[in-house]
């Protein structure tokens, strides 16, 4: 490494000062809690503190993986994330391709703004909306009743929630990701399309052979990055939208809601920390793996 000049040292000092507040905030709120991970390996007693409690090795993990909850929360979390990645990508890419075909400016604006709307809504309002559709006098419940003559009780039947959760997920996020994909498409070189038109390519051929390959890089990156978060879920979707109804846990309980419940109700902090650690380690491992894969497939898109 070259020796830094006097000018460079001054510049480094100034730039480092600009970085200081964010660095301190991150060290306090993100790095100090990492020390607390030690709690996953002790029999935590609040009165004795994290480091005064007895070291028990992997007991907390054993307890966790032997509990009936473990299988449920891990399988639900993975199940939904896999579905979200597949369906989310298909729906938002399709919508983006269709948006790209619209030339009418007014229509485009209206559609874009509508796609954004769900993104601005807090999860609490989402739960109110769902209730108005699904409870005993809900719009949807009544509609189904008027057609089939049966009244479905959504809030006591876990089976329906697999579909409901996926639909709510798509409602909240597919519109925005469609706009992101669409914005990428716009940046594609127009002359390629013109050349294809001259060669007599149909609209569908252009989609298939120009647009989709153009989006490939982004699809791969977003897909792999969400894959790295396979053990994490949006608490808003699984806690608020389902209203935390215990009857529905077989299909709605995920790792994050489990930790959330420990924090707010049962107080088995050591087990909660242990689950959190599993999430963290898997997340770290998968991100590193994802980066390796991206480097092979699409080197320019690698994260680091």
Partner 1 sequence: MTKIKLKKFVGNTPIYIPLLIFTLFCVVPFVVVISGSFSDNASVVSNGVRLVPQVFSLTAYKVIFAFFSKITRAYGVAIFVTVIGTVLNLVIMVPFAFAISKREFTFGSKLTFLIYFTVMFSGGLIPTYILIKRYLGLYDTVWVLILPLLASPAYIVLLRVFFQSVPKALYESAAIDGASEFQQLIHVGIPLALPGIAAIAFFSMLMYWNDPYTAIIYIEDSELFPIQILLTQMTQYINYIKSNASASGGLISSPADIPTTTILFALGIVASGPMIFVFSFFQKYFIKGLTAGSIKE
Nearer to partner 1, 88 or 138 (CB): 138
Q: Coil, strand or helix: which one is 133?
A: helix
Least distance (Å) between residue 121 CB and partner 1:
6
Q: How many CB atoms lie within 10 A of CB 155?
A: 20
Here the tokens at position 253 are 């309980």
Non-local (6+) Cβ contacts of 231 within 8 A are 74, 77, 78, 81, 255, 278, 279, 282, 283
Q: Where do we find the tokens 């993104």?
A: 119
The tally of CA atoms less than 13 A away on the side-chain side of residue 271 is 19
Closest CA relative to residue 277, chosen from 24, 29, 42: 42
Least distance (Å) between residue 289 CB and partner 1:
11
Torsion, CA 52, CA 53, CA 57, CA 59, rounded to 10: -170
């Amino acid at each position: 490494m070259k020796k830094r000049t006097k000018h460079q040292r001054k510049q480094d000092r100034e730039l480092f000062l600009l970085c200081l507040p964010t660095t301190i905030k991150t060290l306090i709120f993100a790095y100090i809690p990492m020390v607390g991970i030690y709690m996953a390996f002790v029999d935590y007693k609040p009165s004795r503190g994290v480091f005064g409690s007895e070291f028990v090795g992997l007991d907390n993990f054993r307890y966790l993986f032997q509990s009936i909850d473990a299988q449920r929360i891990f399988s639900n979390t993975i199940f939904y994330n896999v579905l979200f990645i597949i369906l989310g990508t298909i729906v938002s890419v399709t919508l983006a391709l269709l948006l790209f075909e619209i030339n009418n400016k007014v229509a485009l604006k209206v559609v874009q703004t509508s796609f954004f709307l769900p993104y601005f809504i807090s999860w609490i309002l989402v739960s109110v909306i769902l209730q108005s559709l699904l409870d005993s006098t809900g719009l949807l419940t009544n509609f189904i009743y008027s057609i089939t003559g049966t009244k479905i009780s959504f809030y006591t039947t876990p089976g329906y929630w697999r579909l409901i959760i996926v639909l709510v997920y798509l409602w909240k996020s597919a519109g925005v990701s469609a706009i992101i994909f669409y914005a990428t498409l716009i940046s594609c070189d127009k002359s390629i399309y013109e050349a294809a038109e001259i060669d007599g390519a149909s609209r569908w051929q252009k989609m298939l052979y120009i647009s989709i390959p153009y989006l490939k890089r982004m699809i791969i990156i977003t897909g792999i990055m969400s894959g790295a978060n396979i053990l994490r879920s949006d608490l808003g979707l699984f806690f608020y939208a389902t209203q935390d109804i215990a009857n529905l846990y077989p299909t709605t309980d995920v790792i994050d809601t489990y930790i959330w419940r420990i924090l707010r109700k049962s107080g088995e902090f050591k087990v909660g920390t242990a689950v959190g650690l599993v999430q963290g380690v898997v997340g770290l491992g998968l991100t590193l793996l994802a980066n390796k894969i991206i480097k092979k497939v699409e080197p320019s898109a690698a994260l680091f």
